[in-house]
Chains A and B, each alone.
Chain A
Amino acid sequence: MARLVVLGGGVAGHTTATFAAKWLGSQHEVVVVTPNAKWNWIPSNIWVGVGQMTKEEVTFDLAPVYAKAGITYHQAKAVSINPEGKEDSDKPFVTIEYTSADKAGQTETIEYDYLVNATGPKLNFGATPGLGEGSQLGEHTVSVCTADHAVHASEKLQEAIEKMKAGTRQKFLIGTGHGMCTCQGAAFEYIFNIEHELKKAGVREMADIKWISNESFLGDFGMGGLHMKVGGYVVSSKLFAESLFAERDVEWMIGAHVSKVDAGKIEYELLDGTTGEEEFDFAMLIPPFAGVGLKAYNKAGEDITDTVFAPNGFMKVDANYNAGAYENWKASDWPRTYQNPTYKNMFAAGIAFAPPHIISKPMSSPNGTPINPTPPRTGMPSGIIGKAVAHSVCDLMTKGEDAKLHEASMAEMGAACVASAGKGIFNGTAAAMTVYPVVPDFEKYPGTGRDTDYTFGEIGLAGHWIKHILHHLFIYKAKLNPGWTLIPE
């Protein structure tokens, strides 16, 4: 019996573990190590953050689901990897530290035959002084990155609404809290959901809402923007986004690196090198992502973290990390199998893999501050990659080391995204977009690098219904309810 250890239980890790457990049956063991007791459907945190859903509606307990699937579950965080084993054993292992209340702080080692790193990101609030989620990390801004953060954001939003009802004007600042952030889409959803809720509460006239982001144009979304077919016309996501901002009377500032957050005020630097300050009463600024800080050691116990991980903490995979300047970037730079080049029994899936470079055009200020979105690897791509990795590992375990690996390059993969702009059965709105491929392939599709026949978008009530249906569908799937394998990633 061989053992697969999956680090992380988010979209990628959960997908990998559950499919692997299904395909491997009782012949082999699947182990999941994740610090969380609950699974969180992160896209719906936006609705928790505006008080339209509860934390319970977007989360569920992992233990019974893993018990049902026959997966061994450790509520713990991975601390280090020893891919060569130790002095007296060649068996590779991971060291974990429990986070569950009964074993908190205890460490343990788990040997593995195959390892999938799907730890997701560390929410790197510390990259910008003062940035946080309302706790000790930073008391001035809120976050919707986790369900708990979103609950707190919702409470702060309610306080702001009460102040407006009492006649005090409020300034809302939503966007990205650092020049190297990703996940602009989440902030985009949040700003329009806030606008929608303020309108519903009858206080929209008392609010000034402003967007701040590290994109060099509105609608970049970390993918270099997209040109989508809307009703037969090719429309840039820039114009699509600008129209929405104008229609909802939301001001915007882009190409911005937030350098510091103080009480009611941020300091920023723009791509043109100018600096400034922006005041706020309520701010939700997405933090940059980094690797979770896993260490790696060789057989002799020497630190080989640099061999296994890129400087940003994400795991190296079969990508071309020497692509060089922007003009040399190719679709083929992107990984296909997500296998670590040094240790072939290790894979990375979802946010945990180190991308070869960003997708958007690299930009920096005259002061040398990089200000550009980093590549999104969440949602649909995460699930697809997780499933492909599960396939590969299962084949390696059942067919032998020469089994052909499954591929899921982001440069050959389409993705669908439904961005909510307000929740409501009859007055909700969401922008439904598909993009193909996620990473532009300039050789195959000269021009924008994408196939406009498969890149389209539409905004309206139907999009909201789709978003709501997807919420229930993906939670149903993640709970491994009957027919879960039929639901696509």
Chain B
Amino acid sequence: MVKEIIQYPTPLSVKYATDVRIFDEELFSLIDDLKDTIKENNLDGLAAFQIGNYFNVIVVKDDNGELIEMINPRLIAHSDKVTTEEKTAYYPNHSAKIQRYNKISVVYQDRNGKDCSMQATGKMAIVIQRKIDYTFGATFIQKMSKEEKEKFEAQLEGGIDVGYDEYCPTTFKRDYVLKGINIALIVMLLPVIASFFVDNTQLLEKMWNYQLYGSFVVMGMTIGYFFYGQYEGKIYTSCTSCQIGNIIGTCVIALIKLTLIMIASYFFINPS
């Protein structure tokens, strides 16, 4: 059965592929669907991933136009690095320069689970590499150089990240609290500097009280930052656990800064 090929901007419906462990009718049917879809769309190859199936299966056209079924393919050796201008069915109207290998050795299983191997060169080698990338959860974007990726992204109306509802933001709301803490610390630093030019004991007394209130505010904001940070970390579960480490580290750094300012204030401002 001809299947619909998922195309940009629709996100790939599965995020990764998994090895086939059971060779049964379900697998045969998937392979037949891949073949039908390749023929219908006159493609060089297709990964099951591209039609929304998470099995590690690809079908590629060899140099004679014959379709080769590869289950659980692995690229084990390569040589002859080349840069190719590639297209893929996921981004049908775009191409990009990708670094590949012109000669590869690939091992795989056939539909009966028999181990097979193949040495491929040229166009077929490139197609196999691209399709294997799909089986490990990547489009060819992950193989682009930084510059090529930027150029390619500029061609895409919605950018590369379209369709991903869960993402890790580059700035968090808690960062605003952190900014507030840093501003408060700078404001607290000013009286320390000013104290070198003030002799009036009454004024120094007021400045010391100001520092004490300031330290309570910074401590309160730091505690607030810590707990809000934990809450925000739970919202963005896709972000790594380093969040917790970062939050703790940031709080410790803020408290060290505050301590240093208060020590300096005690010696230079506190008149008693």
Chain A residues within 8 Å of B, Cβ to Cβ: 216-217, 224-225, 227, 229-236, 238-239, 243, 246, 253-256, 270-274, 326-327, 329, 361, 363-364, 366, 432, 434, 442, 447-449, 452-453, 456-458, 462, 466
A217 CB contacts on chain B under 8 angstroms: 74-75, 136
B190 within 8 A of A: no
- A449-B137 contact in complex given A232-B167, A434-B241, C-beta closer than 8 Å: no
- Can you list the 9 inter-chain pairs with the closest CB atoms, starting with the nearest? A255-B76, A272-B117, A232-B167, A232-B238, A236-B136, A234-B15, A232-B168, A216-B74, A327-B21
Q: Is the Cβ of B167 less than 8 Å from the Cβ of A231? A: yes
Chain B residues 82-122 with CB under 8 Å of chain A are: 99, 105-107, 115, 117-119
Query: Does the CB pair B167–A270 fall under 8 Å?
Result: no
Task: Let me know if B18 and A274 touch, CB within 8 A.
Answer: no
CB of A447 within 8 A of CB of B18, answer: yes
Most chain B beta carbons < 10 A, residue from A234, A452, A466: A234
From B107, B137, B168, B237, A216 is in contact (CB under 8 Å) with: B107
Contacts A364-B115, A466-B245; A238 near B136 (Cβ below 8 A)? yes
B118 surroundings in chain A (CB, below 8 A)? 272
Q: Is the CB of A363 within 8 A of B107?
A: yes
B-side interface residues, number (CB < 8 Å)? 38
**Contact indicator per residue, chain B 232-246, by CB within 8 Å of chain A (1) or not (0):** 000011111110010
* A273 lies within 8 A of B238 (CB): no
How far in angstroms is the closest Cβ of chain A from B164?
A: 7
Which residues of the partner chain B approach A363 to less than 8 Å between Cβ atoms?
A: 74, 107, 115
Task: Identify which of A238, A271, A466 contacts B117 (C-beta below 8 A).
Answer: A271
Given contacts A236-B16, A326-B21, A434-B241, contact A253 B76 (CB under 8 A): yes
CB distance from B183 to the nearest CB of A (A): 25
Residues of chain A contacted by B168 (CB below 8 angstroms): 231-232
Residues of A within 8 A of B142 (CB): 235, 239, 243
Contact A229 B107 (CB under 8 A): no
Cα-based distance from A424 to B31 in the complex (angstroms): 50
Q: What B residues does A233 contact at CB under 8 A?
A: 15, 164, 167
Nearest-CB residue, chain A, relative to B74: A216
| Among candidates B16, B74, B239, residue contacting A271 with C-beta atoms closer than 8 Å | B74
Q: Which of A238, A255, A329, A447 contacts B77 (CB 8 A)?
A: A255
Q: CB-nearest residue of chain B relative to A440?
A: B18
B245 touches A229 (CB 8 A): no
Return the chain B residue nearest A218 by Cβ. Answer: B75
B19 touches A (CB below 8 Å): yes
Contact B115 A253 (CB under 8 A): no
Asked whether, in the complex, the Cβ of B21 is within 8 Å of the Cβ of A239, the reply is no
**Residue in B117, B239, B240 whose CB lies within 8 Å of A366:** B117
B54 located at the interface, meaning its Cβ lies under 8 Å from any Cβ of chain A in the complex: yes
CB of B67 to closest CB in A, whole Å: 21
Complex: A270 Cα to B104 Cα, angstroms: 13
> For residue B32, which residues in chain A have a CB less than 8 angstroms away from its CB?
none
Complex alpha-carbon distance, A227 and B16, angstroms: 7
B16 touches A447 (CB 8 A): yes
Contact B137 A271 (CB under 8 A): no
Instruction: List 12 A-B pairs, Cβ < 8 Å.
Output: A229-B240, A230-B240, A231-B240, A232-B168, A236-B136, A236-B137, A253-B77, A254-B76, A270-B77, A274-B77, A363-B107, A462-B245
What is the CB-to-nearest-CB distance from B33 to chain A, in angstroms, rounded to a whole number? Answer: 19
CA distance A224 to B238 in the complex (A): 22
- Residues in A with CB closer than 8 Å to B18 are 447-449
- B157, CB-defined interface residue at 8 Å: no
Instruction: Write the nearest CB–CB distance from A76 to chain B, whole angstroms.
Output: 42
Q: Which residues of A contact B245 (CB under 8 A)?
A: 462, 466
